[in-house]
Amino acid sequence: MGAYVAIAVAIFPTHFAAFLWSNVMALASGALVPALLLAAYSLYRGREAVRSRAAIGNKSAFLLFGAYAAYLTAYTTYKFNIPAIVPFYADGLLAEVDRLIHGTDPWRIAHGMAGDWWRYLVVQAYSHMWFAAWFGTVLYAIAYARPGDRARYLWGNVLTLAVVGTILATLLSSAGPNFPSMFPEGARFIPLRAELEASPANASLLLYIDYLRDAYFQPAGAIGTGISAMPSVHVAIAVLNAWFYSSLGRRRGLVAWLFAALILFGSVYTGWHYAVDGYVSIAVVSLIWWAACRWIVPLRPAEA
């Protein structure tokens, strides 16, 4: 973890500094609502009943949260610089794999299934609820989870960002369907923009697409920037959370897996990803979680 951050600071010090404060604020704001809900639950059940399972003090929790903010900043720094390290090249291949699997471009299937209320739900879940689920789960794991559960989740999380969001994203550098001007085969995705513009539910999504496209051509990093399609970190984090909550109970696991399915659908509907981006994320994160449970912090019989 320390090396991951140190390398980002050493190679991209300007971008790391530019992203640090925005990531701290994003992490804090994303975890705010889950923190309030956890606090209310603590008052309802009794603080000790909730916190007694977590052998970690407030100071240690704060330090862990700060360390995670630094790690998140390193991830954002790497993501922003992927096209400079490996220019986008894999989009054409990924689009062809998608068409081979589904018989057509998957975004056409997704848009054919979506009514206006469903479009709004998908966009809000993908653009906003996902961040609360991500940062809220980090907060829960740090401050409330049992030591073994905490360690497995945090190891799984940092490995997911490193393997899925940095190493594989660089090796498979791709822009995604929302940025057809950035790769030679992009003409096939021009109709996607018109499809998105046809529904008012996609208004905020379109603004963010334009924001990322404009930021791509600016040398300095801006809040929430960086373009990378394969693999999908959105799907990766949702699946990691689903494995984590499944280890805590079937009902929580079921809800988390349903949310992960919604994020997978949303990754294609919104045009941020090819469907295969999500499939690769599911496979890789499942392997990471298996390794975390088997070798890094093995599950005890009482936890299995």
Which of 208, 12, 33, 239 is CA-nearest to residue 123?
208
Rounded Cα distance, 102 and 109, in Å: 9
pLDDT at 11 over 80: yes
**Residue entry with tokens 């995670």:** 68
Length of the chain: 304
pLDDT of residue 244: 97
Which of 139, 158, 156 is CA-nearest to residue 62?
139
Question: How far are the Cα atoms of 16, 126, 133, 243, 278 from residue 285, in angstroms, in the given order?
Answer: 26, 19, 17, 9, 10
pLDDT of residue 55: 46
Where is average pLDDT lowest: 128-132, 268-272, 287-291? 128-132
What is the residue-wise DSSP string for 229-240? -SS-HHHHHHHH
Instruction: Write the pLDDT tens digit of every residue in 49-90.
Output: 445 444 455 677 778 888 998 999 999 999 999 999 999 999
- C-beta of residue 240 within 8 angstroms of C-beta of residue 285: yes
SS3 annotation, 73-85 = HHHHHHHHHHHHH
Instruction: Write the pLDDT tens digit of every residue in 126-173.
Output: 998 999 899 889 988 988 888 899 999 999 999 999 999 999 999 999
Spell out the domain ranges in the chain: 30-56+86-296
Whether the model clears a pTM of 0.85, i.e. scores above it, the answer is yes
Cα angle: 251, vertex 283, 34; to 5 degrees: 40
* 84 burial type by CB count under 10 A (0-12 exposed, 13-18 middle, 19+ buried): exposed
Rounded Cα distance, 175 and 230, in Å: 8
* 187 burial type by CB count under 10 A (0-12 exposed, 13-18 middle, 19+ buried): exposed
Which of 113, 140, 127 is CA-nearest to residue 56?
140
Question: How far are the Cα atoms of 53, 95, 184, 198, 255 from residue 187, in angstroms, in the given order?
Answer: 54, 12, 8, 19, 38
Rounded Cα distance, 50 and 232, in Å: 33
Instruction: Write the pLDDT tens digit of every residue in 107-124.
Output: 999 998 867 889 999 999
Question: How far are the Cα atoms of 6, 62, 139 from residue 28, in angstroms, in the given order?
Answer: 23, 11, 10
Query: Looking at residues 189-212, what average pLDDT do you find?
Result: 94
- Among residues of the chain, what percentage have pLDDT more than 90? 66
Please provide the average confidence, as pLDDT, over all residues in the chain. 87
Task: Output b/e per residue, 98-117; b: 16+ Cβ within 10 A.
Answer: beeeeeebbbebbbeebeee
- C-beta of residue 177 within 8 angstroms of C-beta of residue 107: yes
Bond prior to 191 in cis (omega within 30° of 0) = no
How many CB atoms sit inside 10 A of residue 48's CB? 9
